[in-house]
Structure 1
Amino acid sequence: MDIAFLMDDLRQIDPVWETTAQIMYECNQRGHEVFFLEPHDIYVRKNQVVARMRHISVPKDQPMTDYWADLICCLNREELIFETVTDLDVLFLRKDPPINHEVMEFLGPVSDQVFLVNNTLGQLNCSSKAYILNFPDIIPETHVSRDPSRLKKIIDDFGGAMVIKPLHGHGGHGVIKVSNQDQENLNSLINYYVKAGKPYPERQPIMVQEYLKQVKEQGDVRILLLDGEILGAMGRKSVSGDFRTNVHAGALAFKHDITPAHKEICRRIKPKLQQDGLYFVGIDIIGDKLVEINCISPGGIPRINRFNNQKLEIAVVNFIEEKISGANPKKHK
């Protein structure tokens, strides 16, 4: 198969802890043709969506560090492959958030002609933290507004700690805990986040969500889902006093066993994820509440592999092989 990975510059990542690197390595091990491109490499030529790509031609059976060194050499070569996107079998959209709307616009018209992980329309819908509102009965109390006075009243009426989240933030950036006990700072923070100095239509809506106290003692759980089914999971907990549990924010990851409550959450959201073409996602759970769905470059495979002595990337590549062989059995028999 011809499998391409769209991501940020691979020279800037540590392959040992990068989910994309593990999937690329597994594709290479199976003898698939692997290509790499960045968002700016997609364009249109004679009404067709085309990509400037680099062919990652690397020997099999190397340690990851050697494989990655050879991969970087492939990136540094001048040769470019100019490929019509629809000639690919699979295109992994693994660019880190925020979402690149230009890429989504270019790929949207051909999304039914190449298998995208994940689907463009699904990513556009799920790129906002508001996507969890599709599941109102399994999420914490949640509000979204751009009106400072309304947000202030929500927090005052709630009477306890709440969490402010930018709708399009990622990696815990911009997520803060607030309380009605600190009125002076509360007003300032709300005004800052919604950009209250601008006219109402130009302000930024923000999410205000119930603070779940379990996060302090238990942390949260990241579950990776593949086609709606549980692929693997890990726990995450802050070790610095920060309430955020993102590994990029300094949290500690640890082994986690899936609970019946977590299985039920996954069961509830599976049909919607499949409907939206969100085949590979990461969800975050605190206690028994769904707090976030990550569809843009979800990570966690390397850490979960180490905790459980697994290779989850095998299941990911098995899945895409089955999808492609089923869609075009003559080409891939």
Structure 2
Amino acid sequence: MRIAFFVNSIEGETTYYTTTSLALAALARGHEICYVTPGDFVLRPDDGLLVRATTLSGSKPKKPETLLSALKGEQAKISTIDMRDVQVLFLRNDPSEDADKRPWAVYVGTNFGRLAAARGVIVVNDPDGLALAQNKLYFQGFPEIVRPTTLISRSIEEIRTFIDDHPDGVMLKPLQGSGGKNVFKIRSSGEANLNQIFEVASGAGYLIAQDYLPEAVGGDIRFFLMNGRPLERNGIHAAFRRVPAKGDVRSNMHVSGTAEPATITPQILAIAEKLRPKLIADGMFLVGLDIVGNKVLEANVFTPGGFPEVAAIHGVDFSEDVIISLENKWRIQQLYGGTVPNRTLATL
């Protein structure tokens, strides 16, 4: 297979990204890989869809450092490829990273992903499903029982009232965002700097206010689902606990959170099962859930990360499992002559 990884930028890719692990796993299993960024698609007058892809020449890298050095160095080769010669387009960009400086790039993955799927390319996660999940409002479509009590508003008066109704405090964050940016814990509506926090957090639009879960002091659990089910091998789950740095309420790895082993309880498995119907219906192939206690804080569907952390803790590289699943989808597509809809194929 030829697998194209769609990312925000090649320059921004790092050794600890899950995308890097996935690319190495694909190479190890004998597949071709290429990287694609928002400015690389071409739709010609004859309706041909092409992409200017960064490919590798020479020997296949086996280490993250070697792979990224090759992608960013002289080994990299830019080739114009007909999308029909790509078997899988793996959408691994974070739209929120482009929202401020490159707003034109935010919807490129989903828009051109649809065009690719229409031409027989397996696109994961399904672009129509991802179009529904461009911001955290998507999360409100999951069962209420698994979600913290939530207010979405741009009104500071509404937010103050919500804070007053939750004596344990409230987490405040932008509706569009990731990586723990502009996430605040508000203890009371009387905080002297609430107006300043509101101005900072609301700069990108609507805000989410959620009741603070006391269990969050110990961090959250990043728990991976593939094809709507827990990603697991030989009794080991693709999961880890994200522990916040001292004095920080955020457990994101981008803001100095650390990874520790996580215990996957029947309660956590039951939570995942409650989310499964919607994830399958929306064609969400690979998802990372952030779980605190009996609640899901977020469902990461664009570029869930953490495979290197899981591998470091458990010695299991789940990237191989993901590539094997893509191989199975390709076989199904060939068996059925491309008649299985992409959204269905994405979670088979």
- Give the TM-score, by structure 2 length: 0.85
Quickly say closer, same or farther: Cα 1:312–1:159, change in 2 above 3 A. same
1:222-267, Cα deviation, whole Å (9 max, x unpaired) = 0111111212100011122101000111111111121111101111
Where in structure 2 are the equivalents of 1:177-326 lying within 5 Å?
177-180=185-188, 182-194=190-202, 204-216=205-217, 218-231=218-231, 232-326=238-332
Deviation at 1:331, TM superposition (A): 8.9
Paired with 1:72 and 1:189, the residues of 2 have a C-alpha distance of: 39
Paired with 2:65 and 2:297, the residues of 1 have a C-alpha distance of: 35
Paired with 2:230 and 2:74, the residues of 1 have a C-alpha distance of: 34
Secondary structure of the 2:329 match is helix
Percent identical residues: 29
1:301-321, Cα deviation, whole Å (9 max, x unpaired) = 011011111010110000000
Deviation at 1:183, TM superposition (A): 3.8
Quickly say closer, same or farther: Cα 1:321–1:206, change in 2 above 3 A. same
Question: What is the letter of the counterpart of residue 189 of structure 1?
Answer: I
Partner of 2:4: 4
Tell me if structure 2 keeps the 8 A contact 1:36–1:56.
no
Question: What is the letter of the counterpart of residue 298 of structure 1?
Answer: P
Question: What is the letter of the counterpart of residue 244 of structure 1?
Answer: R
Partner of 2:23: 24
Deviation at 1:30, TM superposition (A): 1.8
- 1:87 corresponds, among 60, 85, 89, to 85
Tell me if structure 1 keeps the 8 A contact 2:70–2:76.
no
Deviation at 1:330, TM superposition (A): 8.9
Tell me if structure 1 keeps the 8 A contact 2:41–2:49.
yes
Between 1:128-137 and 1:227-236, the stretch displaced more is 128-137
Partner of 1:66: 66
Between 1:126-135 and 1:64-73, the stretch displaced more is 64-73
Partner of 2:124: 117
Tell me if structure 1 keeps the 8 A contact 2:24–2:63.
no
Paired with 1:14 and 1:229, the residues of 2 have a C-alpha distance of: 28
Query: Which runs of 5 or more residues in structure 1 are unaligned?
Result: 196-202
1:158-178, Cα deviation, whole Å (9 max, x unpaired) = 233101110111000011111
Secondary structure of the 1:274 match is helix
Quickly say closer, same or farther: Cα 1:169–1:68, change in 2 above 3 A. closer
Tell me if structure 2 keeps the 8 A contact 1:97–1:170.
no
Partner of 2:114: 108
- 1:150 corresponds, among 158, 161, 164, to 158
Quickly say closer, same or farther: Cα 1:177–1:152, change in 2 above 3 A. same
Paired with 1:74 and 1:91, the residues of 2 have a C-alpha distance of: 24
- Give the TM-score, by structure 1 length: 0.89
Give the total of aligned pairs: 321
Between 1:136-145 and 1:178-187, the stretch displaced more is 178-187
Paired with 1:331 and 1:105, the residues of 2 have a C-alpha distance of: 24
Quickly say closer, same or farther: Cα 1:145–1:163, change in 2 above 3 A. same
Partner of 1:199: none
Quickly say closer, same or farther: Cα 1:86–1:19, change in 2 above 3 A. same
1:49-97, Cα deviation, whole Å (9 max, x unpaired) = 22111222453474443344334336644xx322222331101111234
Secondary structure of the 1:207 match is strand
Question: What is the letter of the counterpart of residue 209 of structure 1?
Answer: Q
1:2-49, Cα deviation, whole Å (9 max, x unpaired) = 11111133344332x121111111111122121111111012112232
Paired with 2:299 and 2:318, the residues of 1 have a C-alpha distance of: 19
Secondary structure of the 1:95 match is coil
Tell me if structure 2 keeps the 8 A contact 1:163–1:178.
yes
Partner of 1:200: none
Tell me if structure 2 keeps the 8 A contact 1:4–1:34.
yes
Paired with 1:187 and 1:39, the residues of 2 have a C-alpha distance of: 36
Matched, 1:132 2:132: no
Tell me if structure 2 keeps the 8 A contact 1:54–1:74.
no
Tell me if structure 1 keeps the 8 A contact 2:148–2:297.
yes
Between 1:180-189 and 1:242-251, the stretch displaced more is 180-189
Secondary structure of the 1:208 match is strand
Paired with 2:244 and 2:5, the residues of 1 have a C-alpha distance of: 32
Question: What is the letter of the counterpart of residue 128 of structure 1?
Answer: N
More helix by share: 1
Secondary structure of the 1:91 match is strand
Question: What is the letter of the counterpart of residue 95 of structure 1?
Answer: N
Tell me if structure 2 keeps the 8 A contact 1:97–1:297.
no
